[in-house]
Amino acid sequence: MKKLLVRAGMTPYDVVEPGKIILDNLVGDNTGNLIYQYGIFRALTTENQELVPNGYRYVGEKYADEINQNYDGYVMPFADVLRPDMKKFFERITRLIRKLKVPVVVVGIGLRAPFHEDLKHGFSFDAEAKAFLKAVLDHSAIIGVRGEITGAYLKSLGFREEIDYTVIGCPSMYTFGKDIKVRDLDLQQTSRICVNASVVAPNKVNLFLRKAMREIPDHYFLPQRLLEMKMVFAGEPYVHQQKHAEDYPNDMLDSLYKENRVRCFGNAVSWFEFLRNSDFSIGGRMHGNIAAILSGTPALLIPHDARMKELTEFHHIPHIWAKDLKPDADIFEIANNMDFRSILKDHDKHFEAYVKFLEKNGLEHIFKDGNNPEISPLDQKIKEAHVPYSEIDTVYGHTAEERFLRTQSFYVAREAMENELKDMIDKTKIELAHRNNLLKSKPVNYAVKIRELLGKSTGVPFSE
């Protein structure tokens, strides 16, 4: 049985309480990670191959021996990791990769940049990203990038298309191989819609989405950030480092929260099920809408930056560009005139290229002869684990006693975690101090040392 280490917080069949998911950050700051990682786990989990999540650890070089001894490869599915705040990550993981003796495969890496970014000027992380990618290529056949913009960026760093990298899109789009089915849409005021949004999107997008929700009463807002998940589950304020769009629903007094119209999910299968029972998905979150597509539900994306632009164009995702959207636009007119089958264009061709990418890197997969199995090994594992439906609603959806018990258990667990971390820090400080004392020689009295040397040089011992 082969064992592959995978960059992920947990497996799709792990049964984890929402509070623990939040406290351990098993979604990697954004639940969208659950969707593309689900695609990787489903594709690569076979009868002869097991995938083990790294829990977002195993980054430092000190783990090299452990990985070499216990795993047959390291698979790294990424989203928009090519960005300034990942410089230190690139430095650390590059040192690790250079010490690995097993294959390292990067799947779906992307560039975060403004909508009309000029790649000629480069970025502050160019050197670190280039070193990381070169280290990966020393351990794999080829790198898979999300889209043409990221491909152009790698080319600007000196990498060669179809030799060093190939454009594969997002692995989530190939979760079920060539099998993509989207229902027809006849959007009415009685429809159920799911809305997703980003705090950094233009505010006119949020105004449009608010208007749509006023016009369609049966609506749900599906946030994806870990901080929002924490607010939904325990009522904690959503404090974001970036400036919020004015009309973004970002506190518990927002009508969406007070009316219990907000949902998060603790696993991908629950998210799929919720969307499957909805009529329409719309908003500025890439994987929120891809989750709908995988569920067969029509989805309309509102892209606002380069990372979304390249995937939108590559996969022909139904969309309206944020820059072209008017806050007073008619949601019914837009939705009912959209071609939701555009995603089928080139999908088979892209899927075949994705399979070739996996095979070129020596990864065993479930898509024998290009076919999607009716029940994959991952599907069977999820069934055997009895993965529960994990729909997380707001505290407003519960009685006062239920709220108290839910928040109490969360804060008790968090306090225990904080105390454990504090103890670990204190023990580490003591251990480091002890090591430093062992390494240090006795303090040197330089005045005495000089006098001793003078005595040796004249042959006359020096005394006080």
- Give 247-272 pLDDT, tens digit per residue: 899 889 999 999 999 999 999 999 99
Residue 403 has pLDDT above 90, yes or no: no
CATH number, span 193-344 = 3.40.50
User: By C-alpha distance, which of 41, 9, 5, 8 is closest to 25?
Assistant: 9
Who wins on pLDDT, 422 or 17? 17
Residue 343 has pLDDT above 70, yes or no: yes
How confident is the model at residue 118, as a pLDDT?
Answer: 77
How confident is the model at residue 446, as a pLDDT?
Answer: 47
DSSP three-state, residue 439: helix
- Residues 114-123 have a mean pLDDT of 82
- pLDDT band with cut points at 50, 70 and 90 for residue 419: confident
How confident is the model at residue 456, as a pLDDT?
Answer: 42
Structure tokens at 163: 């030799």
DSSP E strands in 22-155: the ranges are: 49-53, 73-77, 104-107, 143-145
User: By C-alpha distance, which of 235, 224, 223 is closest to 395?
Assistant: 235
pTM: 0.90
Contacts of 192 (CB under 8 A, 6+ apart): 218, 219, 220, 277, 278, 279, 280
Residues 254 and 213 sit within 8 Å (Cβ to Cβ): no
Distance CA 26, CA 11 (A): 10
Amino acid symbol at 350: H
Alpha helices, H only, 283-389: 286-294, 306-315, 331-336, 347-360, 377-384
- pLDDT band with cut points at 50, 70 and 90 for residue 244: low
Domain boundaries, the chain: 2-177+346-389, 193-344, 401-455
For 232, list phi and psi in degrees, rounded to 5.
Answer: -60, -45
User: By C-alpha distance, which of 38, 59, 4 is closest to 266?
Assistant: 38
Tens-digit pLDDT profile for residues 119-146: 888 999 999 999 999 999 999 999 999 9
Distance CA 69, CA 443 (A): 43
- Residues 440-451 have a mean pLDDT of 51
Residue 152 has pLDDT above 60, yes or no: yes
Mean of per-residue pLDDT scores for the chain: 91
- Residues 65-89 have a mean pLDDT of 96
How confident is the model at residue 238, as a pLDDT?
Answer: 84
